[in-house]
Amino acid sequence: MKDGQREQDLAAGGNERRRLRLTDGTIVMVSVAARRYARTPNQCYGYLQFKVHGKTVTKYIGRVTAKDRAESLRIGWELLRSRNLVESFGWSCVER
C-alpha cells in the first residue's frame, strides 16, 4: 500500500469508507485533497476527488485548515459526511 493510500484510509476511518457508488452504478475509490493557494496561504481547502471513465472529478468540500495535513484530511472526510455532500450529488456511500 502506498503512503498516500494509507494516509487517506486513516483519515477516512478505513479503506471501505472511501468507496462511492455513482448514479450510473459505478463504484469508485475517492480521496480528499487539501490544497493551499497563494492568495490565501493561511487557509486550506478540501476537495473530493476520484477518477471515472478516464476523467478526474473534483468537488469542493469546504475549508479544512488545521495544524498539519493529516488533520486537514480528517476534517475533510468529516465535512463530507456531516454535510451529506455525497448524497447531494446523487451518489451514495458503499460501506461493508
Model confidence band, residue 55 (pLDDT cutoffs 50, 70, 90)? very high
Return mean pLDDT, the chain.
Answer: 93
Q: Per-residue pLDDT averaged across 16-26, rounded?
A: 94
pLDDT value, residue 95? 73
Q: Per-residue pLDDT averaged across 81-96, rounded?
A: 89
User: How far is the C-alpha of 96 from the C-alpha of 16, rounded, in Å?
Assistant: 7
Query: Which of 6, 3, 2 lies closest to 18, judged by CA?
Result: 6
Q: Tell me: the pLDDT tens digits for 56-69?
A: 999 999 999 999 99
Helix pair angle (69-82, 3-12), 10° resolution: 50
Instruction: Check pLDDT > 60 for residue 96.
Output: no
Q: Name the percent of the chain lying above pLDDT 70.
A: 98
**Residue pair 40/64 in contact by the 8 Å Cβ criterion:** no
Instruction: Check pLDDT > 80 for residue 9.
Output: yes
The total number of residues shown for the chain amounts to 96
User: How far is the C-alpha of 84 from the C-alpha of 20, rounded, in Å?
Assistant: 13
Number of CB atoms found within 10 A of residue 64's CB: 24
Rg from Cα positions in the chain: 13
Instruction: Check pLDDT > 60 for residue 20.
Output: yes
User: What are the sequence ranges of the domains in the chain?
Assistant: 3-93
